[in-house]
């Protein structure tokens, strides 16, 4: 029985993230815990976007809007006196799901660059809508003086075990999306990505499958937004800007499109590079840009390809689906 090295590596990564929660405070590096939370939240949103791009071939430049919707749904709920995080989670999922269903039904009537532009337009519409919410800070955003609780306890707050909650959410997201990608649903989604006409001919509704994936991805991103509020104690329309969507797109491509672990690797890489370069250069993106160019030239399969070159896409959920091929 051959062991999948990528699964072993991810097990080690999750184990190290768990160990960091107990070790870093002992060595006086609690600040790094917040940095890891930031990376994990970015990874959750990136994994959801990879479901669209890597699995479904739907290039979106408005995915950050779902993160912002989840964050604002939580913030407005808190301002209205709702403090139980489970109730806020249901609200965030419902709002983001409805938004994804409506916008996705419109956007998916196009494809290619037109789909990209429509998602960008919806993202900008979301941004400007949020800036118009004067009771909730408008352009300046909203500082939250109370945060969500778990039946009255602070377990989901920074002073509690928010780190563990975010880690558990990341593991669940990674596991769930990979299970979904390896299922019949994922295989049909990839088949539609490779040849939509043939997929329709053999009896599958490409529109329905893509719309379902779009809604699922949006709801996962909204969860990242909800947890972002708990970590930052602040919400701002900046969460919905196209630059944020661009960062998510870069993370997915940098990690490796459609690979099992690419989005997660890309998220941690971006946060680490930002922290290291930003520590000695304010305009750190001046160095980050050429670094991305080098990655594009010499690691076309992303970080996943660098870490697992022998796989050559074998066993990865994003490998092209051809007639008779079964994805692991």
- DSSP 3-state assignment of 315? coil
Which helix (DSSP H) or strand (DSSP E) does residue 143 occupy?
strand 142-143
Q: Rounded to whole angstroms, how far apart are CA atoms 258 and 249?
A: 12
pLDDT the model gives residue 319? 42
**pLDDT number for residue 3:** 59
Q: Domain spans of the chain?
A: 5-307
Q: Which segments of the chain have a pLDDT < 70?
A: 1-4, 307-328
pLDDT at 2: 58
pLDDT for 191-218, tens place per residue? 999 999 999 999 899 999 999 999 999 9
Sign of the alpha-carbon dihedral angle for 33, 259, 47, 130:
positive
* 138 conformational bin, left if phi > 0, alpha if psi -120 to 50, beta if neither: left
Q: 322: how many CB neighbours lie within 10 A of its CB? A: 9
Predicted local confidence at residue 159, as pLDDT? 72
| Structural domain 5-307, CATH architecture | Orthogonal Bundle (1.10)
Rg for the chain, CA atoms, rounded: 20
For residue 112, the 8-state DSSP code is: H
The per-residue b/e assignment along 125-160, b for 16 or more CB within 10 angstroms, e otherwise, is ebbeebbeeeebbeeebbebeebbbbeeeeebbbeb
The pLDDT of residue 9 is: 80
Whole-model pTM?
A: 0.90
Q: For 261, which DSSP code?
A: S
Q: What pLDDT was estimated at residue 154?
A: 85
Query: Counting Cβ atoms within 10 Å, is residue 114 exposed (0-12), middle (13-18) or buried (19+)?
Result: exposed
Write the CB contacts of 108 (distance below 8 Å, at least 6 apart in sequence).
58, 115, 207, 210, 211, 214
List pLDDT tens digits, range 256-301.
888 878 889 999 988 988 888 887 777 777 887 888 888 777 777 7
Judge whether 317 and 182 are in contact, CB under 8 Å.
yes
């Amino acid at each position: 029985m051959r062991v999948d090295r990528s699964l072993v590596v991810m097990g080690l990564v999750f184990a190290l993230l768990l160990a960091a929660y107990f070790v870093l405070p002992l060595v006086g590096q609690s600040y790094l815990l917040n940095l890891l939370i930031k990376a994990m939240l970015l990874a959750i949103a990136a994994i959801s976007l990879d479901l669209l791009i890597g699995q479904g071939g739907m290039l979106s430049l408005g995915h950050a809007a779902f993160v912002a919707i989840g964050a604002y749904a939580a913030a407005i709920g808190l301002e209205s006196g709702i403090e139980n995080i489970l109730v806020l989670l249901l609200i965030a999922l419902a709002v983001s799901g409805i938004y994804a269903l409506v916008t996705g039904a419109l956007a998916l009537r196009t494809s290619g660059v037109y789909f990209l532009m429509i998602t960008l337009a919806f993202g900008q519409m979301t941004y400007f809508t949020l800036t118009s919410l004067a009771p909730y800070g408008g352009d300046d955003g909203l500082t939250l003086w109370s945060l969500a609780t778990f039946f009255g306890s602070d377990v989901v707050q920074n002073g509690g075990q928010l780190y563990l909650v975010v880690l558990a959410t990341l593991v669940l997201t990674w596991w769930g999306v990979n299970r979904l990608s390896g299922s019949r649903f994922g295989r049909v989604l990839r088949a539609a990505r490779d040849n939509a006409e043939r997929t329709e001919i053999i009896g599958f509704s490409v529109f329905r499958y893509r719309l379902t994936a779009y809604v699922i991805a949006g709801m996962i991103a909204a969860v990242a937004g909800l947890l972002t509020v708990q970590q930052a104690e602040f919400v701002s329309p900046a969460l919905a800007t196209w630059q944020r969507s661009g960062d998510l797109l870069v993370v997915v491509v940098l990690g490796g499109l459609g690979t099992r672990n690419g989005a997660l690797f890309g998220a941690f890489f971006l946060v680490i590079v930002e922290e290291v370069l930003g520590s000695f250069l304010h305009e750190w993106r001046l160095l980050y840009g050429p670094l991305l160019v080098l990655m594009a030239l010499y690691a076309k399969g992303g970080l996943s390809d660098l870490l697992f070159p022998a796989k050559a896409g074998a066993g990865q959920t994003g490998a092209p689906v051809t007639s008779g091929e079964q994805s692991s």
